[in-house]
């Protein structure tokens, strides 16, 4: 007797035959990446590198780096972080052999890495050899009133280019090692929270230079792409100027929704339920894409950037990437792929096929 799971596999194989949109997954651990692949992901559309540094053995080094008082001290920690980043990336390239892996440069507000409690600070003090009072003062000084609108994304690359250098060295170093193992890594380096072309130029210059250095040193080249997140209204409104500088654009609809509405992503539970109840908004815009606003920004960005640079690739890696209703819109817009949590990949595959069939049948 055929199980429902067999039926589901048949349905998925039909979906794959019919869909145009590719489906990738958001993942940063080998376990999640393997799960994603098993569920049919055709690559990683978003590897949030900041998540890779929260592990207990890495966080102290990260904290040491952030609290460093001069370049030498910072470099000491960056050299250690480089080893972690490179081996983590190699693990990911092994799992994703032959498929693209979009690696996003560090994005969190810096103080998220810092100790939160007095106990944490005392423990950190002995580990990095700094007085507790100093750690407390520096942690205080890094705190922001609106961290989601603050010192994050490529703003870190502008202020601390050496952090970006470390990440690129690690990503490409890992890709070189994977290639030496006979694998085919396809790293795509993605710049977060971009607002303008100057940021892209500055960060791309660092990326290109570091890659040249690695390639020179190892005498082996690897294919790579540079792209940008599209997650601020300013980036969307100026997409035509960004396009010539990148090979792909990936819409970060979580931040784009937050900034379009002025709704804090991290605080919606406080007011959104009442807002929905009183019908002040039709539905939760963080779940289903708001076509009238965020969708229009995306449409403008795609239309104007494509006119400037035909052939540029588009993806979406916000939560909406796994939402069937939003997937219809992404199909219609002509995006190349959606990227979502591994467990949503099968539904996204089906939704992508439905989106295409619906249009073909003129429904
Ligand atoms: C986004 O903003 O949609 C996104 C994918 O990035 P993050 O959720 O990590 O901010
Ligand atoms: Mg974001």
Model ipTM?
Answer: 0.99
**Do 213 and 207 form a contact (C-beta atoms < 8 A)?**
no
Q: Retrieve residue 241's tokens.
A: 């100027």
Q: Give the closest residue to 132 by CA, choosing from 123, 143, 122.
A: 122
CA dihedral 295, 33, 31, 61 (to 10 degrees): -80
Tokens of 306: 């494509």
Packing angle of the helix pair 71-95, 161-180 (nearest 10 deg) = 30
Q: Tell me the C-alpha distance between 230 and 251, whole Å.
A: 4
Active site residue 47: no
Asked if 226 and 207 count as a contact pair (C-beta separation under 8 A), the reply is yes
Long-range contacts of 236-239 (CB under 8 A, 24+ apart): 236/297, 236/298, 236/300, 236/301, 237/297, 237/300, 237/301, 238/196, 238/197, 239/300, 239/301, 239/302, 239/304, 239/305
Is the minimum distance from the CB of 253 to ligand 1 under 6 angstroms?
yes
For residue 318, report the distance from its CA to the centre of ligand 1, in Å.
5
Distance 17 CA to ligand 2 centre (A): 32
Residue with CA nearest ligand 1 atom 4: 252
Phi, psi of 262 (to 5 degrees): 70, 25
Tokens 């980043």, residue?
Answer: 85
- Distances 125 to 60, 135, 143, 191 between C-alpha atoms, Å: 10, 7, 19, 33
CA 276 vs. chain centroid, Å, equals 29
- 336 phi and psi, to 5 degrees? -90, -35
What is the three-class DSSP state of 246? coil
Those residues whose C-beta lies under 8 Å from the C-beta of residue 131, and which sit 6 or more positions away, are 125
Whether 252 lines ligand 1, by a CB cut-off of 6 Å, is: yes
Q: Profile the chain (363 residues) by mean pLDDT over runs of 10 residues.
A: 82 96 98 98 97 89 93 96 97 98 94 89 93 94 92 96 98 98 98 98 98 96 97 98 98 98 94 96 96 98 98 97 98 98 98 96 84
User: How far is 6 from 275, CA to CA, in rounded Å?
Assistant: 42
Q: Are 28 and 37 in contact (CB under 8 A)?
A: no
**How many whole angstroms from 252 Cα to the centroid of ligand 2?**
5
DSSP state of 351: H
Which residue has its alpha carbon closest to ligand 1 atom 6? 252
What span, in angstroms and rounded, lies between the C-alpha atoms of 152 and 231?
13
What pLDDT shows up at residue 171? 98
Is the Cβ atom of 231 under 6 angstroms away from ligand 1?
yes
pLDDT of residue 112: 86
Total-model pTM: 0.96
Task: Return the CA Rg of the chain.
Answer: 21
């Amino acid at each position: 007797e055929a199980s429902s799971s067999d039926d589901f596999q048949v349905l998925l194989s039909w979906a794959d035959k019919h869909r145009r949109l590719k489906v990738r997954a958001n993942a940063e651990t080998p376990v999640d990446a393997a799960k994603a692949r098993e569920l049919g992901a055709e690559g990683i559309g978003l590897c949030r590198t900041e998540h890779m540094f929260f592990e207990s053995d890495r966080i102290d080094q990260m904290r040491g780096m952030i609290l460093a008082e001069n370049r030498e001290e910072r470099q000491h920690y960056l050299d250690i972080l480089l080893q972690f980043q490179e081996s983590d990336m190699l693990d990911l390239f092994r799992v994703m052999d032959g498929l693209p892996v979009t690696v996003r440069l560090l994005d969190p507000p810096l103080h998220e890495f810092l100790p939160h409690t007095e106990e944490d600070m005392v423990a950190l003090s002995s580990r990095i050899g700094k007085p507790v009072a100093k750690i407390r003062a520096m942690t205080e000084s890094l705190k922001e009133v609106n961290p989601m609108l603050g010192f994050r994304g490529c703003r870190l690359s502008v202020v601390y280019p050496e952090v970006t250098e470390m990440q690129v060295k690690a990503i490409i170093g890992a890709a070189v090692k994977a290639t030496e193992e006979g694998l085919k890594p396809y790293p795509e380096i993605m710049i977060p929270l971009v607002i303008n072309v100057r940021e892209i130029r500055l960060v791309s210059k660092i990326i290109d230079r570091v890659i040249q250095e690695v390639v020179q040193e190892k005498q082996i080249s690897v294919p790579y792409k540079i792209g940008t997140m599209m997650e601020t209204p300013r980036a969307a409104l100026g997409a035509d100027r960004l396009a010539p500088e990148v090979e792909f654009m990936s819409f970060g609809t979580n931040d784009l929704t937050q900034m379009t509405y002025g709704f804090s992503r991290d605080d919606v539970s406080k007011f959104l339920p009442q807002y929905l109840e009183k019908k002040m908004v039709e539905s939760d815009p963080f779940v289903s894409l708001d076509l009238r606003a965020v969708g229009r920004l995306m449409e403008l960005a795609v239309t104007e950037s494509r006119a400037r640079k035909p052939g540029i690739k588009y993806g979406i890696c916000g939560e909406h990437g796994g939402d069937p209703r939003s997937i219809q819109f992404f199909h219609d817009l002509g995006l190349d792929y959606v990227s979502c949590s591994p467990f949503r990949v099968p539904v996204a595959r089906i939704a992508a096929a439905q989106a295409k069939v619906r249009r073909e049948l003129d429904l």
